Structure formats: C-alpha cells, structure tokens
Amino acid sequence: MLFVVLAVSLWGGSASLAKYLFLTRYDPLIITQTRSSLSFVLLAAYFLVADRTVFRIRPEELYKFALIGIVGIAITNFTYYFTVKESTVATAILVQNVAPVLVMIYAVAVSKEEELNGIKVLSLLFALCGCFFAVSGGSLSEVRLSGWSLLTAPASMLTYAFMLIASKRVLRRHDVWTTLVWALGFAAVFWLLVNPPWAIAARGYGIGDWGVFLGFAVASILLPYIFFAKGLRILEATSAGIITTLEPVIAIIVAWIALGESINVVQICGAAGVVGSVLLLQVRRDSLLKFLRSGHHAK
C-alpha cells in the first residue's frame, strides 16, 4: 500500500502545478507529451547501461504494452489535463476517480479475478463520498462540465480504469521495469506521431522551458509510475484504485500549505473519509467479523 500512497502523493502534489503551467504559457499537449517522453528517455538510457534484459519481451506481447502506453498513459494523461484546463481540478479528479467502480465491476463480474466483499464495497463508497467533499467542499458549483470537457472527463475515467486492469495483468508476467520502459516507450512514439519534433521546435522553447518539462516529468510521472507499478503488482486492481482517491486529499493539503488556499470543515471531513476508506482496506475480513461477533456477544 505504501508504494501506491507515495505515487498518489506525487500525483496530488503535481495537480496544482499542472494547472499553473496551463495558465502561463504551456498547453496540455506539450506537458502530456514531454512528461511521458522524457520519462522514457531517462528510464531507457539507464537500463541500456545497467540491465538490457529489461527490454526483452516476446513479439506477440507488444500489443499489450502498446495499449497500456497509448491508452492507459498517453490518452489518460491528456484527457485528464485537458479537463483540468477547460474545467476545474475538482471536476477532473472527481470524474476520473469513479474509475475504481468500473474496475470493481469488471474484476468481480466479468473477469472473476476478485471476490466481492463488504469491506471493499464500503471502502469504495467512503472513498467516492470523501473525494467529492474533499475536492468540492460540498458545493456543486465546483463541479462543472462544458465544451470538450464533456468528452474528455469521462474518457479520462474510462482509460484510467483500463490502465488499472491492463497493467495489473501485464505485471503478473513481467517486472515493473520492463512494463514501464515499454509502456512509456509506446506513449512517447504515439506523441511523436501526434506532435512531431518539428512542431515542437517551432514553439521556440528554451533551456528553462525544457528544465520545467524535465522536472515535471520526473515528479509527475516517472517516480509515481514506478511506485504505482510496484504497488499494483501486489494489490488487487480495485484496492489500488481506491487508494488513488487519496490524490485530491494530497492536492488540497499541498495547495493549503504551499499556496495559502483556504480549507473548510467539509473538506476536512471529506479528506477524513478518504483516509478512512484506505485504512478500511487494511482490515482483514475475518478480523472484522470477529470484532462484530464479539460486540454482539458482549450485549
């Protein structure tokens, strides 16, 4: 669980930074492209020297990594950040964090990979409700969709759910480093086709801009994806998805500390609900039943 919490902490901390970057001189496309492409370059360069066996996979498995890289990373990131720019951070986070519901339905009813239990359902409900109140402060005015965000917000949710499910399957057969190198590599190639090098060069970005891109790439995708993949390999996809609802909690705490933004009682209660949902996941089902039975006998 700790790995996923670390990943979510980095994602949550970078959400406000991304909004700031969009409001200055950068658009979601260049931020999304450079964060995955630069992360791939750094990771690939390291393993070309340290351990080339990381790149060894069977040709028939290439499509799996391509789907994770293109759909799970590239499209998920772009639709999320486009929603952040066109709507609000609250809207983008809330809609995307419905993904664990889809993951649970698929894992329980379709693939039969997970068992449905009360703790998991209760934790998911706490997480969703807590996420809403933590981000919106209980005000629906913070949640608004218009224009292209009507499409990008649900697309972000669907592709994020796909990423959780597909990554979990691949990580059963391959280690974290192989999965990340190939997935990020396919994401990088995809963005080169969408936004080729000469189009980027025409924007006239300087050394300072590329420093920003590199720093944001490491903090928002390279490190968190390493932590997340390590955690997802151990946890069920649904559980990992529920833990990622901590992202808005981290985001509002960072905004409160670093940017001096206000935080109200409703948001604090919502944050407590999300934290409670994550802690609830750590409760073993048999331990909970034993506790409930002991309480019943005490009466």
Domain count, the chain: 1
Structure tokens at 122: 């209760």
Domain span at residue 211 reads 2-298
pLDDT of the residue at 253: 75
Q: What is the pLDDT of residue 125?
A: 81
Residue among 220, 111, 216 nearest 162 (CA): 111
Find tokens 């069977």 and name the residue.
Answer: 58
In this structure, what is the dihedral angle of CA atoms 243, 247, 248, 249, given to the nearest 10 degrees? 70
pLDDT at 258: 65
User: Which pLDDT score, from 0 to 100, does residue 32 have?
Assistant: 87
Report which of 70, 102, 94, 81 is spatially closest to residue 17, judged by C-alpha positions.
Answer: 81
What's the confidence (pLDDT) of residue 284? 52
Residue 100: Cβ within 10 Å count? 28
pLDDT of residue 291: 46
| Cα Rg, the chain, nearest whole Å | 20
The angle, 0 to 180 degrees and rounded to 10, between the axes of the packed helices 223-234 and 2-23 is 150
Q: Specify the pLDDT at position 100.
A: 82
Digits of tens for pLDDT over the chain (299 positions)? Answer: 778 888 888 887 777 677 778 777 788 888 889 989 999 999 999 999 989 999 999 999 999 999 999 999 999 988 988 887 777 776 777 788 788 888 888 888 888 887 777 777 888 887 778 777 877 776 666 666 677 878 888 899 899 999 989 998 898 889 889 999 999 999 999 999 999 999 998 888 999 999 999 999 998 888 988 888 888 888 877 777 777 777 777 777 776 776 566 677 887 888 788 777 777 766 654 454 454 455 544 44
Q: How far is CA 177 from CA 89, 138, 186, 205, in A?
A: 30, 41, 14, 31
Question: Distance between CA atoms of 48 and 219, rounded to whole angstroms?
Answer: 22
According to the model, what pLDDT value does residue 43 have?
93
Amino acid at 71: V
